[in-house]
Amino acid sequence: MSDPLLTSDTPLPETEQGNMPSRDAPQVMPASGETDEIESDVHQAGIIRKAMMRHSLGLRDVGVLILSLLAVFYTLYFAADIVLPFVFAMVVNLLMIGPMRFVHGRLRLPKPIAALLLIIAMFLIVVCIGTAISVPAAAWLTKVPQSLPALQQKLAFLQGPIDSLQRGYLRVVALMSGNGHHHVSAASAAASSASNGAETLRIWGSSFLIGTRAFMGELFTMLLMLFFLMTEGDSLLRRIVEIMPTYSDKRRIVQITTQIERNVSLYLATITIMNILVGALNLLQCWLTGMPNPLLWGVLAFLLNYVPIIGPLTGVVVYFCVALISFPSFLLALLPPAIYLCIHILEGETITPMLLAKRFTLNPVLVMASLLFWDWMWGIGGAFLSVPMLAVFKIFCDHIGALTPIGHVLGGPVRPRSLRTLGPEVAPEKTP
**Cα distance between residue 419 and residue 11, in whole Å:** 5
Sign of the dihedral through C-alpha 341, 353, 361, 306: negative
Residue 320 domain-assigned (yes or no): yes
Phi/psi of residue 232, nearest 5 degrees: -120, 10
According to DSSP, the residues that pair with 16 across neighbouring strands are 19
Contact 286, 336 (CB under 8 A): yes
Which H, E and C letters describe 291-324, residue by residue? CCCHHHHHHHHHHHCCCCCHHHHHHHHHHHHHHH
Residue 199 within a domain: no
In terms of residue numbers, what domain contains 332?
A: 62-157+210-418
DSSP bridge pairs for 19:
16
According to DSSP, residue 403 is labeled G
What is the rounded distance in angstroms from the CA atom of residue 208 to the CA atom of residue 3? 31
Select from 227, 229, 256 the least CA-distant residue to 241. Answer: 256
Count the neighbouring beta carbons within 10 Å of the beta carbon of residue 343: 21
Helix 294-304 to helix 310-326 angle (10° resolution) is 160
Half-sphere exposure of 229 (CA within 13 A, CB side): 21
pTM, two decimal places: 0.70
Structural contact between residues 225 and 89, judged by C-beta atoms closer than 8 angstroms: yes
Question: What is the pLDDT tens value at each position of the chain, 432 positions in all?
Answer: 544 444 444 444 444 444 444 444 444 444 455 555 555 555 556 656 655 556 566 688 778 888 988 999 999 899 888 899 999 999 999 888 888 888 888 888 899 999 999 999 988 988 888 888 888 887 777 777 676 676 666 666 666 666 666 777 677 767 666 544 444 444 444 444 444 444 554 555 555 555 566 777 788 889 999 999 999 988 888 999 999 888 888 998 998 888 888 888 888 888 999 999 999 999 999 999 988 889 999 999 999 999 888 889 999 999 988 888 888 878 888 899 999 999 999 988 888 888 876 666 788 888 889 999 999 998 888 989 998 999 889 888 888 877 788 888 888 655 544 433 344 444 544 544
Q: Where are the alpha helices (DSSP H) in 307-379?
A: 310-326, 330-333, 335-346, 352-356, 364-378
Secondary structure percentages of the chain, helix, strand, coil, to 5: 80, 0, 20
- 281 close to 297: Cβ distance less than 8 angstroms: no
Residue 128: the pLDDT is 85
Q: Answer yes or no: is 406 within a domain.
A: yes
55: which DSSP letter?
S
Contact (Cβ atoms closer than 8 angstroms) between residue 363 and residue 407: no
Candidates 290, 285, 340, 348; CA nearest to 318 is: 340
| Domain-embedded: residue 222 | yes
Rounded to a whole number of angstroms, the CA Rg of the chain reads 27
| Packed helices 197-242 and 80-95: angle between N→C axes, nearest 10 degrees | 60
Does residue 81 sit within a domain? yes
pLDDT given for residue 56 in this prediction: 63
Question: From the CB of residue 52, how many other CB atoms can be counted at a distance below 10 Å?
Answer: 13
Question: How many structural domains is the chain composed of?
Answer: 1
Q: Which of 272, 300, 337, 347 is nearest to 2 (CA)?
A: 347
> pLDDT value at position 15?
40
Which pLDDT does position 354 carry in this prediction? 82
DSSP state of 26: P
**What is the crossing angle of helices 265-289 and 380-399, to 10°?**
150
Q: Are 391 and 263 in contact (CB under 8 A)?
A: yes
